[in-house]
């Protein structure tokens, strides 16, 4: 398997934002113009930043551009990073703001360019059950299911989609999401609730079958 993006159970400690001292050293070096140190920071977070943007846009090319631009912008703004939050949260905020601005401009020309599903998806019992003969949607292959799921996500508002992506797909905690979205935990919970309600209605056939 090449990668399962941002699954919380699979995060190892060196990747998690639990080494702030070491990370601050890298940030300080990058702030002084050390591009090798910044390269190391990019490697740490590239998958999670890309995944968040990809799940928000449902478009690989857009996610590629926005992820690169987010890292470039973060480097240029490193002087303004005071360390009040972790570098990881600060970086996420830049990527999320950039993505939301992009989506507002793109509003009327949504075009999906989805990544392929990895090999493991075909062996996931939930998905196997969903596309088996017993389900009312037996004709639906995994890729069709993937398209429906992405189309449903795109129907949510940016803030609701972000809450679902960060929590249910990326596996971030409510506290982390609240910091990234600059709101309180109650707001995160209520956004998550309404987003799930909407998704459940949009994907009624599939959700009943699982």
Partner 1 sequence: MSENENDFEALRRLLVLKRHEIPPPGYFEDFSSRVVGRIRAAEAVRELPFLLRLLQAFETKPAYPVAFASALCTLLLFGIVSVEQSPVLVTTPVFSSSGDNAFSLTPRALAIGNSSTNPPVDVPLFGTQPNTAANYQTVNFSPDGN
Handedness of CA 133, 145, 180, 193 (dihedral sign): negative
Residue entry with tokens 């080494």: 19
Segment contacting partner 1 by CB under 8 A, of 12-20, 42-50, 83-91, 104-112: 42-50
Task: List C-alpha distances in Å: 178 to 89, 185, 187, 192.
Answer: 10, 5, 8, 12
To partner 1, the closest distance from the beta carbon of 5 in angstroms equals 6
24 in Cβ contact with 68 (< 8 Å): no
3-state secondary structure of 7: coil
Residue 52: count of CB within 10 angstroms of its CB? 28
Q: DSSP label at 165? A: I
| Binding-site member from 18, 110, 120, 184 for partner 1 (CB under 8 A) | 120
For residue 168, state whether it binds partner 1 (rule: CB under 8 A): yes
For residue 155, state whether it binds partner 1 (rule: CB under 8 A): no
For residue 116, state whether it binds partner 1 (rule: CB under 8 A): yes
For residue 138, state whether it binds partner 1 (rule: CB under 8 A): no
| Binding-site member from 23, 26, 38, 62 for partner 1 (CB under 8 A) | 38
To partner 1, the closest distance from the beta carbon of 100 in angstroms equals 19
To partner 1, the closest distance from the beta carbon of 169 in angstroms equals 5
The span from the CA of 46 to the CA of 153, in Å, is 22
Length of the chain: 210
Sites of contact with partner 1 (CB under 8 A): 2-7, 35, 38-39, 42-43, 46-47, 50, 54-55, 60, 64, 67-68, 71-72, 75-76, 114-118, 120-121, 124, 126-127, 130, 142, 145-146, 149-150, 164-165, 168-169, 189, 193, 196, 199-200, 203, 206-208, 210
């Amino acid at each position: 398997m090449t990668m399962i993006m941002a699954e919380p159970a699979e995060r190892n400690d060196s990747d998690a934002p639990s080494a702030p001292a070491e990370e601050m050293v890298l940030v300080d070096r990058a702030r002084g113009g050390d591009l090798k140190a910044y390269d190391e920071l990019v490697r740490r977070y590239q998958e999670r930043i890309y995944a968040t943007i990809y799940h928000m846009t449902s478009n690989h090319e857009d996610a590629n551009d926005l992820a690169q631009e987010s890292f470039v912008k973060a480097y240029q703004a490193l002087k303004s990073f005071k360390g009040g939050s972790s570098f990881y949260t600060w970086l996420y905020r830049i990527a999320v703001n950039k993505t939301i601005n992009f989506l507002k401009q793109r509003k009327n020309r949504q075009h999906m360019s989805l990544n392929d599903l990895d090999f493991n998806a075909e062996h996931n019992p939930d998905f196997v059950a969903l596309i088996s003969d017993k389900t009312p949607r037996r004709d639906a292959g995994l890729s069709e299911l993937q398209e429906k799921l992405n189309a449903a996500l795109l129907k949510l508002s940016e803030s609701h989609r972000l809450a679902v992506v960060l929590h249910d797909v990326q596996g971030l905690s409510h506290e982390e999401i609240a910091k990234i979205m600059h709101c309180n935990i109650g707001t995160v919970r209520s956004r998550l609730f309404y987003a799930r309600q909407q998704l459940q209605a949009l994907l009624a056939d599939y959700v009943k079958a699982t």
